[in-house]
């Protein structure tokens, strides 16, 4: 089935993490929040800002992770399974048949690794837009962080950094600004290049 070009699904994930990246034995870095929003290709309008809290299967939320994301073990324990979260993306957003985007490639890697670990199909198409790289390419700049990109685009940050729903929304705002400045052709170019991008 051809990939739909009406909307881009913008994704940001938060994952279990540990101070100094010292992963405890038997645990893995797992997705605990999926932030989602949609960007209409024709109008660049953003909508459907959402947070999907995911219950980790092999790991626990460390104090460091809580300090970074604000998410606690109690909150994520009340979340849904990763498999159910993937089902929501597929059924409610038609994610296997739409372009999707994220700030960098972390989201691609996390979904790839966790789907392999849990023997699930990836809930996205291969048409992924790396907003961070696109921003650098179009502005002739080195790769910068999202906060710097928002500042360069004249956009005040909204929400809380390191919360999936807000980072997805801010990433979508940067993508929308790029399309408004450079035209929808940048999405088409990114779409045509994206099939071969490595995570």
Residue ranges of domains in the chain, CATH in brackets: 4-194 (3.30.420.10)
CA distances to 12, 70, 102, 118, 168 from 122, rounded to whole Å, are: 15, 27, 15, 11, 19
The average pLDDT across 176-182 equals: 94
Residues forming a β-bridge with 51? 35
* Residue 164 in this model has a pLDDT that exceeds 50: yes
pLDDT band at 22 (very low <50, low <70, confident <90, very high): confident
Under DSSP, is residue 174 helix (H, G, I), strand (E, B) or coil? helix
* Residue 197 in this model has a pLDDT that exceeds 60: no
Please tell me the number of Cα atoms within 13 Å of 36 on its side-chain side.
Answer: 19
Q: How many residues does the chain have?
A: 199
* Residue 81 in this model has a pLDDT that exceeds 70: yes
pTM of the predicted model, to two decimals?
0.94
Predicted confidence at residue 199, as pLDDT, reads 36
The average pLDDT across 122-132 equals: 94
> Residue 22: what are its φ and ψ, rounded to 5°?
-90, 95
């Amino acid at each position: 089935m051809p990939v739909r070009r009406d909307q881009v699904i913008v994704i940001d994930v938060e994952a279990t993490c540990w101070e100094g990246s010292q992963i405890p034995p038997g645990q893995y870095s797992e997705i605990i929040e999926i932030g989602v929003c949609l960007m209409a290709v024709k109008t660049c309008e953003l909508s459907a800002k959402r947070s999907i809290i995911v219950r980790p299967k092999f790991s626990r939320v460390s104090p460091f992770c809580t300090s970074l994301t604000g998410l606690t073990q109690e909150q994520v324990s009340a979340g849904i399974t990763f498999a159910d979260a993937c089902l929501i993306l597929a059924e409610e957003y038609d994610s296997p048949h739409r372009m999707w985007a994220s700030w960098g490639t972390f989201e691609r890697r996390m979904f790839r690794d966790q789907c392999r670990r849990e023997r699930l199909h990836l809930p996205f198409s291969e048409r992924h837009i790396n907003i961070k790289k696109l921003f650098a390419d179009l502005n002739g700049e080195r790769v910068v962080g999202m906060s710097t990109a928002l500042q360069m685009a004249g956009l005040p940050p909204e929400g809380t950094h390191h919360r999936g729903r807000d980072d997805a929304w801010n990433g979508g705002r940067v993508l929308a600004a790029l399309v408004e400045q450079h035209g929808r052709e940048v999405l088409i170019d990114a779409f045509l290049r994206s099939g071969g991008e490595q995570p």
